[in-house]
Amino acid sequence: VATDAGILDVAAAAEAFGPRELAVDPATFLHHGDRLLAPLRGLVEAADGPFLDGAPWDTPVQAPRKILCVGLNYRRHAEETGKSAPAEPVLFAKFPNALAPHGAVVDTAGLTQVDFEAELAVVIGRTGKRLREEEALDHVLGYAVANDVSERDLQKRSGQWLLGKTVDGFLPIGPYLVTRDEVPNPQALRIRGWRNDELRQDSDTADMIFSVREIVAYVSRTMTLSPGDVILTGTPEGVLTGDDDPDWIRAGDTYAIEIDGLGRLETRFA
Ligand code: ZN
């Protein structure tokens, strides 16, 4: 947990201060969902360490049971791809092989049309099925910055986008998971992305066609949502595939994404 004093080693602090149920690895914690948030808050207030020094970044989601993504969910992005706004959310999937932490180097060997997509990621904190929109946000544990890295040639080869979406390392996410109490309105967040020094994406989650609460409710009509599940909510305009003559990602490029209150996610391509 990121605190003003440093990064608290929760498992070690729980060994020292209790409760013991917090002395678990991050994947186990996330599968418990928001049930452990109250004891975690208590621990963070009580513990005075230990703090991690120079630890490597890991992904703020661990072993999710589902990674769902929404395509074409920003009005101006739908326009740049020449498509009309969809009548229902366009859902597709990525797999855990795609997860990569803040600061990751993503291997693009043999790939020709690598593109970036700055996105707001939603992490589920409570089991739910057939949720009403009014209760959907209660099932959210928190939010993170994500990059739905995409290879457009593979994406468009068949009717299924899957192949171009879930290449190893194609889901950088982080640096943090920010709990939902710190994000009062997920539809009022500025979202920006820079390729090297060039600002490519600059939008606001207010431009989403389907809001977070609508997406969570929609997915839960057919799928039980479980703690730790991840939903990517689509990208705003400014991706390379919207350009007339795209200058695809090259080895050595970086892409950095910032969303209000969620931090800055940096990825390098090799
Ligand atoms: Zn996307």
**Alpha-carbon radius of gyration of the chain:** 18
pLDDT digits (tens, 9 = 90+) for 194-240: 999 999 999 999 999 999 999 999 999 999 999 999 999 999 999 99
Listed in order, strand segments (DSSP E) in the chain are 2-3, 6-8, 51-52, 67-71, 90-93, 99-100, 105-106, 114-115, 118-124, 140-147, 150-151, 171-179, 190-195, 198-204, 230-232, 254-259, 263-269
Confidence (pLDDT) at 82: 85
Distance 8 CA to ligand 1 centre (A): 32
Distance 56 CA to ligand 1 centre (A): 26
Confidence (pLDDT) at 50: 94
Which strands sit side by side in the sheet containing 190-195, from one edge to the other?
A: 105-106, 263-269, 254-259, 190-195, 198-204
Distance 54 CA to ligand 1 centre (A): 32
Ion ligand 1, residue ranges at CB < 5 A: 117, 148, 235
Which range among 6-10, 16-20, 113-117, 212-216 shows the weakest confidence by mean pLDDT?
16-20
Rounded Cα–Cα distance for residues 265 and 88 (Å): 29
Distance 69 CA to ligand 1 centre (A): 6
Distance 226 CA to ligand 1 centre (A): 21
Distance 68 CA to ligand 1 centre (A): 10
Rounded Cα–Cα distance for residues 262 and 165 (Å): 23
- Which of 121, 120, 265 has the alpha carbon at shortest distance from 204? 120
Distance 203 CA to ligand 1 centre (A): 14
Confidence (pLDDT) at 18: 83
Distance 153 CA to ligand 1 centre (A): 15
Distance 71 CA to ligand 1 centre (A): 5
Of 155 and 77, which is predicted with more confidence? 155
Distance 148 CA to ligand 1 centre (A): 5
- Tokens 């099925």 belong to which residue? 129
Rounded Cα–Cα distance for residues 143 and 64 (Å): 14
Rounded Cα–Cα distance for residues 39 and 243 (Å): 49
Confidence (pLDDT) at 80: 83
As to burial, measured by CB atoms within 10 angstroms (0-12 exposed, 13-18 middle, 19+ buried), residue 24 is: middle
Distance 234 CA to ligand 1 centre (A): 4
Confidence (pLDDT) at 77: 86
> Rounded to 5 degrees, what are φ and ψ at 139?
-95, 5
Distance 34 CA to ligand 1 centre (A): 26
Distance 12 CA to ligand 1 centre (A): 37
Mean pLDDT of all residues belonging to the chain: 95
Cα dihedral value 79, 84, 87, 90, nearest 10:
-60
Has residue 83 got a pLDDT over 90? no
Has residue 81 got a pLDDT over 90? no
Distance 47 CA to ligand 1 centre (A): 39
Which strands sit side by side in the sheet containing 6-8, from one edge to the other?
A: 2-3, 6-8, 51-52
Has residue 259 got a pLDDT over 90? yes
Confidence (pLDDT) at 55: 82
Alpha-carbon distances of 257 from 19, 170, 200, 266, 268, rounded to whole Å: 36, 14, 10, 7, 12
User: Within a 13 Å sphere around the CA of 34, how many CA atoms are in the beta-carbon half?
Assistant: 18
What pairs with residue 179 in β-bridges? 142
Has residue 14 got a pLDDT over 90? yes
Q: Can the peptide bond before residue 19 be classed as cis, meaning omega within 30 degrees of 0?
A: yes
Distance 255 CA to ligand 1 centre (A): 15
Rounded Cα–Cα distance for residues 69 and 144 (Å): 14
Instruction: Read off the pLDDT of each residue in 2-7 and give the average, rounded to a whole number.
Output: 91
Strands 90-93 and 67-71: antiparallel
pLDDT digits (tens, 9 = 90+) for 19-72: 989 988 889 999 999 999 999 999 999 999 999 988 889 999 999 999 999 999
As to burial, measured by CB atoms within 10 angstroms (0-12 exposed, 13-18 middle, 19+ buried), residue 64 is: buried
Distance 53 CA to ligand 1 centre (A): 34
Rounded Cα–Cα distance for residues 29 and 67 (Å): 18
